[in-house]
Structure 1
Amino acid sequence: MADIVSPIPGIFYVAPAPGKPPFVSPGDTVEVGQTVGMVEIMKQFNEIKSEFSGTVESIEVANAAPVTPGMVLVKVSEG
């Protein structure tokens, strides 16, 4: 199992905008470089990209929840 973590503090978002589908959901296949969420800090949105290829096992943070650097956002089973 691999963890995708937040590189910065801010607010985590699972979708590009309210009412839009999430970037990824549990069971989805992800590739290296694929966007899995965004972290907003001071009105700037930073895409969080997967460093792994595999299957999304879980989203560990609720939408619009505060996050800190190193906090696990998404768990991926590699392969």
Structure 2
Amino acid sequence: MSQQDIQAPFPGVFYRRPSPDKPPFVEEGQQVEAGTIIGLIEVMKQFFELRADAAGIITAFQVEDETVVEAGQGITVLEVV
């Protein structure tokens, strides 16, 4: 198995949940498929879905919910299966 970082494609604010009163899209330790939404990045009041590139297990989040991120910054670690 190999690990890969899922990175922010552009600067913005990272959100782990669709809205403050909803559960996170995914949790650490959760199995995901390619295309699974793992979070949102807000740029100028527009929200863009951040998706897993491959099937695997989310092993760690590298940033907290509602964190300002830079382009290329690692958001989460995916252990590819």
TM superposition score normalised by structure 1: 0.97
Aligned to 1:50: 52
Aligned residues: 79
Report how far residue 19 of structure 1 moved: 1.8
Mapped to 2, the partners of 1:49 and 1:65 lie a distance apart of: 17
Shift of 1:59: 1.0
Question: Counterpart in 1 of 2:37?
Answer: 35
Q: Which ranges in structure 1 are unaligned for 5 or more consecutive residues?
A: none
Taking the aligned partners of 1:52 and 1:3, their CA distance within structure 2 comes to 11
Structure 2's unaligned 5+ residue stretches are none
TM-score (norm 2): 0.95
Matches within 5 A, 1:1-79: 1-79=3-81
RMSD over aligned Cα, in angstroms?
Answer: 0.6
Identity score, percent: 37
